[in-house]
Structure 1
Amino acid sequence: MLAASDPSTFDRDERSHLFMGLTCPNCGNERSFLAKTLQTHVVQSGGEELELTEQSRPAVFELLCDECETEIDFGALESDLRREMILLLGAH
């Protein structure tokens, strides 16, 4: 199990293992992906000031190939890869 949440701290073998399952099925891209997340905030208005009273952790909404914009099925990724992506994004 990988302890670090920042892939830049992994050695070369760990990085290649971590990302070897992330490949665009359309164009074969293995390097650049766009992760769209969704986060909600509760903002209360108290006269002249706004106050942030609650916020959720971001959730992975969509994962796209950054080259051709093909959607990658996040749920079908290997569980270790999914877990590392979630940790990297601070999501759930």
Structure 2
Amino acid sequence: MDTDEPVIIQIVQQVAARKNVDPMALHPPLHDVIDTDALEALFRSADRDEGVSTVTLEFVYQGYAVRVDSSGDVHVSDSPTIETGSESQPVERSSQ
């Protein structure tokens, strides 16, 4: 998917489309499950660094396998191919 949309927006839109719900109806929200700032920074960095050959991140969100590759392409599939924990837990962030 060649888009200028931020990776996190692509993830939320694709998962919401698969669940046939409004993106705002996803609970827990993506930012409670994964550090979205770090996710965006990782793929911005991979885009700028020509020395980085491949970056791929996989995680489970809302029961779907989400894979983001170094080009920023987002792939959401029905069957997770990665091991999952019991349930996604909110990310604890320290206030700075």
TM norm. shorter chain > 0.5: no
Greater percentage in strand: 1
Bigger Rg over Cα: 1
Greater percentage in helix: 2
TM-score tier by shorter-chain length is under 0.3
